[in-house]
Chains A and B, each alone.
Chain A
Amino acid sequence: GAVVSQHPSRVICKSGTSVKIECRSLDFQATTMFWYRQFPKQSLMLMATSNEGSKATYEQGVEKDKFLINHASLTLSTLTVTSAHPEDSSFYICSASANGGSSYNEQFFGPGTRLTVL
């Protein structure tokens, strides 16, 4: 299967700082990338969808200015949590899809990034 990587896998930061998380598709071109957030023992909640070269589409309730998403190339998307606060602590997971790669446009998930804001 297709491989998606995330970096870093774990990050601890102080309140008020910004954190950037990278999501890379290693062996395919991802025309669409998705960013999810997962709280302990809860399901994945879609935050935003981004298409290469376009502005991200955010889900209702997700602050665009707080969660900056950039999808500058077909293999890289970044999520920047700006002015992070303890309530932003969560597990962030990206997924990537190669539109047209399968009949149902399978999403391949990264291993996730654990963010802890002190």
Chain B
Amino acid sequence: QKEVEQDPGPLSVPEGAIVSLNCTYSNSAFQYFMWYRQYSRKGPELLMYTYSSGNKEDGRFTAQVDKSSKYISLFIRDSQPSDSATYLCAMKTDSWGKLQFGAGTQVVVTP
């Protein structure tokens, strides 16, 4: 069993819709949770970082962490075609720990 599970998609949504992404994990020691966006043939860029359970909002992006269920989510409101990319969740056990990535979900926002 992988430590971090993420549905690879693809997930296709119409422009303006809410994109909902999620990851589950098995290691209860994970404390830091990140969401990255990766465009084709490019390196990942950090979108959101959360430490505690609950919600964190940044513009159109909302990250949610539920440590009791070992479940994290990313919501993208008012999606745009430029949001089409692969979204990777990542987590680590402490600030010095190595990142454990999910498989990534390919998102396609259609005009």
Which A positions have Cβ atoms within 8 angstroms of B? 1, 4, 6, 34, 41-46, 49, 91, 93, 95, 99, 103-112, 114
| CB closest chain-A residue, reference B99 | A107
Q: Which of B8, B42, B51 contacts A41 (CB 8 A)?
A: B8
**Contacts A/B (CB < 8 Å), 17 sampled:** A4-B43, A42-B104, A43-B101, A44-B99, A45-B101, A46-B98, A91-B41, A93-B43, A99-B96, A104-B51, A104-B95, A106-B49, A107-B99, A109-B44, A109-B45, A112-B41, A112-B42
Query: What chain B residues lie within 8 Å of A112 (beta carbons)?
Result: 41-43
Q: How far is the CB of B53 from chain A (nearest CB, A)?
A: 16
Size band of the interface chain B makes with A: 20 to 34
* Interchain CA distance A106-B7 in the complex, whole Å: 25
B17 at the A interface (CB under 8 A): no
Interface string of B13-37 (1 = CB under 8 A from A): 0000000000000000000100010
The answer to whether B88 and A43 have CB atoms under 8 Å apart is yes
Query: What chain B residues lie within 8 Å of A43 (beta carbons)?
Result: 6, 88, 101-104
Query: What chain B residues lie within 8 Å of A49 (beta carbons)?
Result: 98
| CB closest chain-A residue, reference B33 | A104
Q: How far is the CB of A33 from chain B (nearest CB, A)?
A: 12
| CB closest chain-B residue, reference A95 | B43
Q: Which of B46, B96, B103 contacts A106 (CB 8 A)?
A: B46
Q: How far is the CB of A12 from chain B (nearest CB, A)?
A: 15
The answer to whether A105 and B96 have CB atoms under 8 Å apart is yes
Q: Which of A4, A103, A110, A111 contacts B95 (CB 8 A)?
A: A103
